[in-house]
Amino acid sequence: MSQDKNGIDATRRRLVGAAAALVPLQAFGQSGDVPYPERNITIYCPFAAGGPTDIAMRALAEAVSKILPRRAIIDNRPGAGGALAAQQMAQVAKPDGYTLAQVPLGAFRLPHMTKTTFDPLNDLTWILNVAGYEFGVMVRSDSPWKTWQELVAHARANPGKLTYASPGIGTSLHLTMDDIAGREKIRWTQVPFKGTADSVTALRGGHVDAAAGTPAWELVDAGAVRMLNTWGPGRNKRSPGTPTLQEIYGIVSNSPWGIAGPKGLDQRIARILHDSFRKAMADTTFVQTLERVGMEVFYMAGDGYAKWRHETAVTEKAAVERLGLQYK
């Protein structure tokens, strides 16, 4: 599940404005090695086209395409709470560096929520963590709820009738909303979609009462959507009057995501990819795109990244079991 204020944020690394290490030109074809890459690289995106993840991934692909001698191409593979892309890559892709996947936090939950042979710790070659999502709860500006407390009060008075859209069952949004419902002793109804773009469309169309997802800041700025809370460690500079879950419940949910390849990826290729993506993370357009869609750069790699993954696997399993979402 999401990490609290003693978890992820203790290791957060802000890279905005920092210059990443240059990738040595000889890395793309060292003496005696087969040159890499010789053709375009496909990156599976775990959410639908047009949503914040898709937008961020396309900006990252464009940035890394400026560094590598071949292009990075995005292939959308939504499903399984964001874990389908990594699972499919692990099961069918060759470990040659030409098929990668964006891996969100939901990949650590999938083995505990459904029957699968996929193991995110052992079936992937983890390259680096790139960024973290920012989340929040939104309602239409013409809704009767002006504050988070009013929405919760309505849910309490109308058990199970208040509906909220999420990017899918088993996502950080789903688990955090279930956690809140347990704390408040209320019931609301999740309506899962394949990404935040679809969730926001449903919200704007009046098909759901609220949406939990990456803040639609452009709609907030236009006055079409109202933020009731945000889920980061501090108040968002774009909405400083909006309270955080940390203030209300002591919860921080910012859901890191990284890039991985299939198990058995050659370490020379993994290093080329790491260094290339690391440099791409400092690309001005990419950083600005993250800010626009409600994310921020969050770099992890090496032993620290491995430690985080193993700790996360434990906490996510516990969260799934606590909320009764485990596979029977």
Same domain, 113 and 145: no
Q: Rounded mean pLDDT of the chain?
A: 88
pLDDT tens, position by position, 255-306: 899 999 999 999 999 999 999 999 999 999 999 999 888 888 999 999 999 9
Q: Judge if 109 and 217 occupy the same domain.
A: no
Same domain, 299 and 315: yes
- Assess if residue 2 is contained within a domain: no
Q: What is the pLDDT of residue 129?
A: 97
Whether the pLDDT of residue 43 is over 70: the answer is yes
Residue count of the chain: 328
Q: Tokens in use for 243? A: 């309270």
* CA nearest to 139, candidates 202, 181, 233: 202
E-strand ranges in 58-151 read 72-76, 99-103, 124-133, 136-140
pLDDT tens column, 86-126: 999 999 999 999 999 999 988 898 888 888 888 999 999 99
Same domain, 265 and 217: no
CATH code, 161: 3.40.190.10
| Three-state DSSP class for residue 228 | strand
102 plus 152 within the same structural domain: no
pLDDT in the model for residue 89:
95
Residues 285 and 179 in one domain: no
For residue 18, the model assigns a pLDDT of 37
CA-CA distance, 145 to 157, in Å (whole number)? 14
Spatial distance between the Cα atoms of 27 and 183, rounded to a whole number of angstroms: 52
* pLDDT above 70: residue 165: yes
The residues, any chain, with a CB within 8 Å of residue 149's CB and separated by 6 or more, are none
Answer whether residue 3 is part of any domain.
no
* Helix orientation angle between 148-157 and 172-184, rounded to the nearest 10 degrees: 70
Over residues 134-163, the pLDDT tens digits come to 899 999 999 999 999 999 999 999 999 999
pLDDT at residue number 195:
80
Specify whether 102 is located in the same domain as 146.
no
Number of structural domains in the chain: 2
> Comparing C-alpha atoms, which of 214, 236, 234 is closest to residue 294?
214
Show the domain range for 272. 8-132+255-322
- Number of other residues whose CB lies within 10 A of the CB of residue 73: 12
Confidence of residue 244 (pLDDT cuts 50, 70, 90): very high
Segment 174-198 mean pLDDT = 92
CA angle 327/308/9 to nearest 5° reads 110
Mean pLDDT across 243-263: 94
81 has pLDDT over 80: no
Closest CA to 103 of 75, 126, 76, 74: 126
Residue 143 amino acid letter: S
Residue 116 located in a structural domain:
yes
- 189, 117: one domain: no
Any domain includes 328? no
Q: Are residues 53 and 80 in the same domain?
A: yes
Residue 151 in domain: yes
User: Rounded distance, CA 98 to CA 92, Å?
Assistant: 12
pLDDT in the model for residue 294: 81
Question: Where a domain ends, among 200, 221, 249?
Answer: 249
Degrees (nearest 5) of the Cα angle 300, 116, 298? 15
Highest mean pLDDT among 26-40, 55-69, 77-91, 232-246: 55-69
Are both 13 and 95 inside the same structural domain? yes
Instruction: Supply the pLDDT for residue 22.
Output: 40
Of the listed ranges 94-103, 110-119, 218-227, 308-317, the one predicted with least confidence: 110-119
pLDDT at 33: 65
Over residues 319-325, mean pLDDT: 79
Say what the pLDDT of residue 169 is.
81
Q: Are residues 157 and 297 in the same domain?
A: no
Ranked by mean pLDDT, the top range of 6-10, 16-20, 32-36 is 32-36
Coil, strand, or helix at residue 313? Answer: helix
Q: Is 1 inside any structural domain?
A: no
- The domain boundary, picked from 228, 249, 270, lies at 249
Residues 207 and 151 in one domain: yes
The whole-number pLDDT of residue 117 equals 82
- The answer to whether residue 73 is domain-embedded is yes
Rg, C-alpha atoms of the chain: 20
Per-residue pLDDT tens digits for 20-38: 444 444 445 443 467 899 9
The string of DSSP codes covering 9-55 is GGG----TTPPPPPPPGGGGS-TTSPPS-SS-EEEEESS-TTSHHHH
pTM given for the model: 0.76
Is residue 9 over pLDDT 90? no
Is residue 8 scored above 50 in pLDDT? no
Beta strands (DSSP E) in the chain are: 41-45, 72-76, 99-103, 124-133, 136-140, 163-166, 189-192, 210-213, 225-230, 256-262, 295-300
In a 3-state reduction of DSSP, which class is residue 102? strand
- Burial class from Cβ neighbours inside 10 Å (0-12, 13-18, 19+) for residue 79 reads middle
Tell me which of 198, 229, 249 is where a domain ends. 249
Three-state secondary structure call for residue 169: coil
Specify the CATH number for the domain of residue 90: 3.40.190.150
For residue 327, tell me if it sits in a domain.
no
